């Protein structure tokens, strides 16, 4: 069973020790590493300074990396996390060596938090406990991190359903912002996951004295398949969002055309009535008054009939 030890406010140590095996794994998890934590790692493991410097909380890598250090692997990877409704990359650094694993991160990744909590509750991790290999422990951590991306895709599916509902309810003010956020989230997921493939390929070549190389290859091939599946799902979501955007534009255009049609019809009908209203501002010759009254009544009649005929014409054309 794993043993959980709090070394400092930012450093926790998990020891996985199977009494049936001669070896054990020590996993150091470090939150928001600063100079104090970097000095601890330097003293404990003597990692290369350039790798330790890249692990500082203020340093952010723009792309994933994997380097061979002296008796260890140094890996930088990014994973998608949901932050205030937006999917952003969260960076995690790994130092992997014989009998040890070190993770450094900003504590934003939900899956890694839960993994640490399970350690504190003395939960057993079957594969790591079975082999006591840091390569397998790394696999289990990466699997949980990658599996967490499926949850984000599910969140996107819920938002896509909400957008579809709003489109057909004509809630145009909400649709635009929802579509923009969804597009950005999908792009971020794809950009992050796209880089996993090369890392997984290199990790399949990792050697272990405890686990057959073929078995390690199978483990990390499985992670590569998950990454590919997430990429494919995100591609489907991307296509759906583009279709919804086109649908939204069509609905919006149809609504605007209806408004313009109504305004045009109203303005055309009002034209003869306008003439009628302007009659009150006309100056008629007071002599003879009978002719003036007759002319006045004729103009009223013609204006009214014009408006009525236009109304009937529009109705017959089904423009009303």
Tens of pLDDT along the chain (320 residues) come to: 567 788 888 998 888 877 777 778 889 999 988 889 999 999 999 899 899 888 886 656 567 888 888 888 999 999 998 888 888 888 999 999 888 999 999 888 888 888 777 766 555 556 666 777 888 889 989 998 998 889 899 988 998 888 888 887 777 767 878 888 888 999 889 888 888 878 888 888 777 666 777 888 888 888 889 888 999 999 999 999 888 888 877 777 777 777 777 777 777 667 766 766 666 555 655 555 566 667 667 767 776 777 677 677 767 766 66
User: Number of folded domains in the chain?
Assistant: 2
Residue 191: predicted pLDDT: 87
Measured CA to CA, the distance from residue 81 to residue 88 in angstroms comes to 6
How many other C-beta atoms lie within 10 A of the C-beta of residue 149?
25
Residue 290: predicted pLDDT: 60
Measured CA to CA, the distance from residue 39 to residue 241 in angstroms comes to 47
Does some domain include residue 188? yes
Among 227, 251, 275, residue at a domain's last position: 251
Residue 39: predicted pLDDT: 92
Q: Kindly report the pTM of this predicted structure.
A: 0.75
Does some domain include residue 21? yes
Residue 262: predicted pLDDT: 73
What is the extent of the structural domain holding 296?
Answer: 262-316
Residue 116: predicted pLDDT: 77
* First-to-last C-alpha distance (Å) of the chain: 77
Alpha helices in the chain (DSSP H): 35-45, 49-54, 110-120, 126-131, 134-168, 172-194, 196-203, 213-278, 289-316
Residue 95: predicted pLDDT: 94
Measured CA to CA, the distance from residue 277 to residue 75 in angstroms comes to 82
Among 251, 271, 290, residue at a domain's last position: 251
Alpha helices in 55-195 (DSSP H): 110-120, 126-131, 134-168, 172-194
Same domain, 15 and 160: yes
Residue 236: predicted pLDDT: 92
Does some domain include residue 224? yes
Does some domain include residue 48? yes
């Amino acid at each position: 069973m794993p043993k959980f030890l709090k070394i400092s406010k930012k450093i926790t140590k998990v020891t996985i020790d199977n009494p049936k095996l001669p070896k054990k794994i020590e996993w150091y998890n470090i939150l928001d590493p600063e100079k104090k934590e970097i000095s601890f790692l330097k003293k404990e493991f003597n990692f290369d300074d350039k790798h330790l410097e890249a692990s500082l909380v203020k340093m952010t890598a723009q792309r994933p990396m994997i380097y061979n250090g002296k008796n260890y692997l140094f890996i930088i990877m990014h994973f998608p996390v949901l932050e205030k409704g937006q999917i952003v990359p969260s960076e995690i650094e790994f130092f992997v060596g014989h009998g040890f694993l070190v993770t450094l991160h900003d504590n934003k990744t939900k899956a890694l938090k839960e993994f640490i909590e399970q350690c504190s509750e003395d939960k057993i991790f079957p594969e790591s406990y079975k082999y006591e290999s840091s390569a397998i422990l790394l696999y289990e951590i990466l699997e949980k991190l990658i599996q967490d991306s499926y949850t984000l895709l599910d969140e996107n599916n819920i938002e896509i359903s909400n957008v579809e509902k709003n489109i057909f309810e004509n809630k145009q003010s909400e649709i635009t912002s929802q579509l923009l956020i969804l597009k950005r989230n999908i792009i971020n997921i794809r950009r992050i996951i796209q880089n996993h493939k090369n890392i997984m390929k290199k990790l399949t070549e990792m050697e272990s004295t405890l686990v057959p190389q073929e078995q390690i290859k199978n483990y990390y091939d499985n992670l590569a398949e998950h990454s590919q599946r997430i990429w494919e799902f995100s591609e489907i979501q991307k296509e759906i969002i583009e279709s919804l955007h086109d649908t939204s534009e069509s609905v919006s255009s149809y609504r605007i055309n209806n408004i313009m049609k109504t305004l045009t019809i109203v303005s055309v009908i009002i034209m003869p009535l306008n003439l009628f209203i302007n009659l009150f501002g006309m100056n008629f010759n007071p002599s003879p008054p009978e002719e003036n009254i007759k002319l006045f009544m004729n103009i009223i009649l013609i204006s009214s009939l014009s408006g009525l005929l236009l109304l009937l014409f529009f109705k017959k054309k089904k423009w009303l």
